[in-house]
Chain A
Amino acid sequence: MTARERARAVLDEGSFRELLGPFDRLESPWLPRQGIVPQSDDGVVIARGTFDGDRAVVAAIESAFQGGSMGEVSATKIACALDLARRDCNAGNTVRPILFLESGGVRLQEANLGLGAIAEIHAALVALRRLTPVVGVIAGPVGCFGGMSLAAALCTTLIVTREARLGMNGPEVIEQEAGITELDAADRRLVWSLIGGAQRHATGFADVLVDDHLPDVGRALREAFARGTPPRHRSADVDRYLARLHDLARTADGDAVASLTPDDLRAAWPREHTDDR
């Protein structure tokens, strides 16, 4: 499914209205200068509509275009949509934000502008999620990496599929930077055992594991909005995670968790019910 198809499908039938769509032609000003063909929406679809009858906004990243990388325009579209949703929520007109986060992270051709705009997405998420749950979905095998993995971590609820991956550094980058003994990026089974959707769900880094099937995603979204905003978001659960890390460091003798396996982690950091946070 393309990002536009996902955005249209998740909203109530007939309610999809795209903002800054292809014919607005807000493409990247930087890619053509480097001889790279741009896309007319810069790879992000912003759509308003209703979800279950409530006002909603969807931001969906098109992973097929430049690996879902975030450039100046694409990242700013997301940041601005979240800011406008916050303005409406503050005025008492709740808008339900839904994010499809299929992204390799910063687009290197727009390096510092992409990074700076991703910081604006983080700022917008922290401000908005106090007013309404912000729900992120990582569905496809491209996964969610780099600065956008922080955005996923800042969502109130994160929905993933088994095919999804969530990590800060892509496996290839880790192999390049730290060597193949650190991580063999070609070992798909290993990569998914570390950062795949099922593992992220089992260890509490994601909240809901679904099949990439629209009714399932819709049900998970509905439940996430019904739960409302938690007293403490996962990214603010500082004491719990620091205690866990210090426990690992204490027991590991100089080189923390050298032998910790993904299965060990499932036992050590079991997922708790979302309502318990």
Chain B
Amino acid sequence: MEQLLFEYPDRKPIDRRAHAGVVGSGDLEVLLEPSPDGALHVRVRTSVDGYGQVWKNVIDRFATRFEGAATIEINDFGATPGTVMLRLEQAAERIRA
């Protein structure tokens, strides 16, 4: 298991939280909730070690689309980058809905 942390400053406040996904094979869960300090924080726990750069690319890309000041926790069980993005988008969609 590996832990990764990402941070993106100067985001817009949000007031809702959302959950998506399960920690099943090839899948992940995302917990997204308001962050108190105006930044976007992403903490990843993944079962597959050594993919830090891949994660950074996915999260960077998500951060360009999502402007909220959120704390996001990801519990990953070997999801592909496509699935990661899908779950992040689902959670983001739920706080907009």
The answer to whether B1 and A65 have CB atoms under 8 Å apart is no
Q: When A and B form their complex, what is the total count of cross-chain residue pairs whose Cβ atoms lie within 8 Å?
A: 45
Contact with B along A8-37 (1 / 0, CB 8 A): 000000000000011100000000100111
**Which residues B40-58 have CB closer than 8 A to chain A?**
45-47
Which of A21, A35, A65 is within 8 Å of B23, CB to CB? A65
Interface residues contributed by chain B, number (CB under 8 Å)? 18
Minimum C-beta distance from B49 to chain A (A)? 9
Most buried by A among B27, B29, B31: B29
The answer to whether A39 and B17 have CB atoms under 8 Å apart is no
A38 interface residue per 8 A CB criterion: yes
A62 interface residue per 8 A CB criterion: yes
**Which residues A57-82 have CB closer than 8 A to chain B?**
62, 64-66
In the bound complex, how far is the Cα of B23 from the Cα of A37, in angstroms? 8
In the bound complex, how far is the Cα of B46 from the Cα of A62, in angstroms? 19
In the bound complex, how far is the Cα of B47 from the Cα of A39, in angstroms? 12
The answer to whether B27 and A23 have CB atoms under 8 Å apart is no
Known: A22-B29, A39-B75. A65 touches B17 (CB 8 A): no
A94 interface residue per 8 A CB criterion: no
Known: A32-B1, A37-B1. A64 touches B25 (CB 8 A): yes
On chain B, the residues within 8 Å of A274 by CB distance are none
The answer to whether A23 and B22 have CB atoms under 8 Å apart is no
Which of A21, A23, A37 is within 8 Å of B77, CB to CB? A37
Most buried by B among A21, A22, A38: A22
Minimum C-beta distance from A103 to chain B (A)? 14
In the bound complex, how far is the Cα of B91 from the Cα of A23, in angstroms? 13
The answer to whether A64 and B29 have CB atoms under 8 Å apart is no
Nearest neighbor of A65 in chain B, beta-carbon distance? B23
On chain A, the residues within 8 Å of B46 by CB distance are 37
Which of A32, A35, A36, A40 is within 8 Å of B29, CB to CB? A40
Minimum C-beta distance from A176 to chain B (A)? 22
In the bound complex, how far is the Cα of B76 from the Cα of A2, in angstroms? 16
Most buried by A among B23, B29, B73: B23
B24 interface residue per 8 A CB criterion: yes
| Shortest 3 CB-CB contacts between residues of A and residues of B | A64-B24, A39-B23, A35-B1
